[in-house]
Structure 1
Amino acid sequence: MDNLFLSSAEVTERSKQIGIKKANNKARTTRSLAFMAGMFIAIGGITNTVVNIVLSPGIAPFLGAFMFALGLMLVLVAGGELFTGNILLYGAYLSKDISLKQLATNWGRVYLWNFIGALFFSCMTHLTKFDPAIAESITAAAAGKLNLTIIQCLAGGFLCNVLVCLGVWVSFSANDGASKFVLMAMPIIAFILLKYEHSVANMFYFSFTAIESGIDFVGVLKNMIPVTVGNILGGMFIAGVYQHAFKSN
């Protein structure tokens, strides 16, 4: 039973090794898995929306947040490259196992293909027969995001990815899919309930809204840029703290 889960030091090493592998993946592998991750997060986003529509207000937020965790579960278990989670590659950079060029290339490639995956899912959803209430709820959520200040976007992005990366981090301590999901789900549920800002989820909300009713693209940039910066800083914070705590010298 002592070896059921890895220790914090072992998780730090596993995260570093995963980061090295991701940084050295073939470009087509990264593109394909990032595309799927964009779709997975979009699936989590729309499922969360449906739950909030059909269930009573008392229980809907929690169950909706739980269903959103489906997106990250698919990334971790089915396989995907998610921008927010890949900020943890910063640990491998700090240990000098990957270069700055490898780090930046991975982040840029994954970010782009996460967007393409989210956009593809939005387009396909638009072509299906879905409840108009879903579109109303998503566009309302997007409008609320456009009303956030730059500081709110930055802080919300930072705190979001602290929780997302903690979810990914603790999932690394387990070897089976069920344990990974249980460990990962709690931080994800927390960030949804607290309404923090996730750049890839926002790609879905904004692209869906743009297709359905049009959107202020300047406003989108005013949200996405600080949210993305906040996500980067939040992930670097988690990777940096643990790498510093358990570095070998």
Structure 2
Amino acid sequence: MADAPENLFPGKTFVSTVLEAADTKAEMSRSITQVYLMRAAMAGIIIGIFYLANYTIIAGFVAVDPELRTIGKLVGAVAFGFALVFIYFTRSELLTSNMMIATIAVYHRRMRVRRASALLALCLLGNALGGLLIALLVAGSSMIDDATGTLVTQAVEHKLDYVTSGSSGMLDLFVRAILCNLLINLAMLLVYNGLVKADGVKVLAMIVAVMLFAFLGYEHSVANTVLFTIQGFHGGIDIWPALANVGIALVGNFVGGGLLIGWYYAYANDPERTQRALLREARLVTREAARAASGAEGR
């Protein structure tokens, strides 16, 4: 027996919850833009704090023994994983998860492409402003004047190498950005689908998703924006490769979160499309029954 439309993966609850969130975000960005920007800025602040914590933890392990660098990366990635948890429970606005939400809203005609684009652009601006605030605060302190700053500089140079090394490096960056937001929005899928009730499981899903992308070296457009801003005030940065990196990461993140999760599950849970498929199946069964009856009468 075929499942009812609302039981198809990941379910009607997921889509309806996302659409409610999209309606709220669209209205907020339109009517109380300042508050929406503040919520987006807080996400940038959280990303900045936890990303620096990641590098500080790695530096601590390396200081004990350089051979512990990989373990430090793993522990730092776990700590960074809590950034998404803080963003979710403070109701801050992160661009990469909003890519999924906006795409589903556009698919279901709850948001026009222009409104969705404006929403995402405003979210990116807010995230960048939050990162700028953290960069300014860090610049006025000695927090990255030690080994942490060295690691930050090395990380920035590595990220810029994706762009300066040519097409193969940019493709590498693009693929890493796709996988990054695929992981993040898989976690948000678990948070929104209504099947996961316990907050502890939601927290674990978000931590694991971010931990994997950080440890495996995937590329997050907002995290890179914040890191580049911090490095710009700390030791300077080549701005054009940095902008190119963010641009490529943005497109890759949209493919991973907006298309491979947002559009994919919007299509899979489209009630009109599902009803059409069920009707076609019913007509096929009816025709087959009629042919069978006709053949029986002929005999």
- What TM-score comes out, normalization by structure 2 length? 0.78
Q: Distance in 2 between matches of 1:44 and 1:118?
A: 11
Q: Distance in 1 between matches of 2:221 and 2:70?
A: 27
Identify the residue that residue 70 of structure 1 maps to in structure 2: 82
SS in 1 for 2:237: coil
Q: Distance in 1 between matches of 2:243 and 2:142?
A: 30
Identify the residue that residue 208 of structure 1 maps to in structure 2: 230
User: Of 39, 50, 63, which residue of structure 2 is paired with 1:44?
Assistant: 50
Shift of 1:72: 0.9
Is it true that 1:126 corresponds to 2:139 in the alignment?
Answer: yes
User: Of 177, 192, 201, which residue of structure 2 is paired with 1:157?
Assistant: 177
Q: Distance in 2 between matches of 1:67 and 1:242?
A: 30
Contact 1:49 1:138 in 2 (8 A): yes
SS in 1 for 2:271: coil
User: Of 267, 274, 281, which residue of structure 2 is paired with 1:244?
Assistant: 267
Shift of 1:92: 1.1
Q: Cα deviations across residues 219-238 of structure 1 (Å, max 9, x unaligned)?
A: 11221111111111111220
For structure 1, the 5+ residue unaligned runs are 1-6
Q: Distance in 1 between matches of 2:82 and 2:44?
A: 13
Q: Distance in 2 between matches of 1:120 and 1:19?
A: 27
Contact 1:93 1:103 in 2 (8 A): yes
Contact 1:84 1:231 in 2 (8 A): yes
Matches within 5 A, 1:168-207: 168-172=188-192, 173=194, 174=196, 177-207=199-229
User: Of 198, 222, 228, which residue of structure 1 is paired with 2:250?
Assistant: 228
SS in 2 for 1:67: helix
Q: Distance in 2 between matches of 1:176 and 1:102?
A: 33
Instruction: Count residues in correspondence.
Output: 243
Identity of counterpart residues, as a percentage? 24
Amino acid corresponding to residue 263 of structure 2 in structure 1: G
Q: Distance in 1 between matches of 2:241 and 2:161?
A: 8
Q: Distance in 2 between matches of 1:104 and 1:247?
A: 22
Shift of 1:57: 2.5
Identify the residue that residue 38 of structure 2 maps to in structure 1: 32
Contact 2:177 2:253 in 1 (8 A): yes
Amino acid corresponding to residue 190 of structure 1 in structure 2: L
Q: Distance in 2 between matches of 1:31 and 1:246?
A: 31
Shift of 1:193: 1.6
Q: Cα deviations across residues 56-113 of structure 1 (Å, max 9, x unaligned)?
A: 3342222111111121111101121001110012101100011112201110000011
- What TM-score comes out, normalization by structure 1 length? 0.92
Shift of 1:177: 4.1
Shift of 1:129: 2.8
Look at both structures and tell me which one has the larger radius of gyration over its CA atoms: 2
Q: Cα deviations across residues 142-185 of structure 1 (Å, max 9, x unaligned)?
A: 00000012212211111111111112221224455433211211
SS in 1 for 2:109: coil
Tell which deviates more after alignment, 170-179 or 87-96: 170-179
Identify the residue that residue 64 of structure 2 maps to in structure 1: none
For structure 2, the 5+ residue unaligned runs are 1-8, 62-67, 163-168, 273-299
Is it true that 1:81 corresponds to 2:83 in the alignment?
Answer: no
SS in 2 for 1:59: helix
C-alpha root-mean-square deviation of aligned residues, in Å? 1.5
Is it true that 1:54 corresponds to 2:57 in the alignment?
Answer: no
Identify the residue that residue 3 of structure 1 maps to in structure 2: none
User: Of 11, 14, 23, which residue of structure 1 is paired with 2:26?
Assistant: 23
Identify the residue that residue 96 of structure 1 maps to in structure 2: 109
Tell which deviates more after alignment, 216-225 or 176-185: 176-185
Q: Distance in 1 between matches of 2:82 and 2:209?
A: 13
Contact 1:119 1:203 in 2 (8 A): no
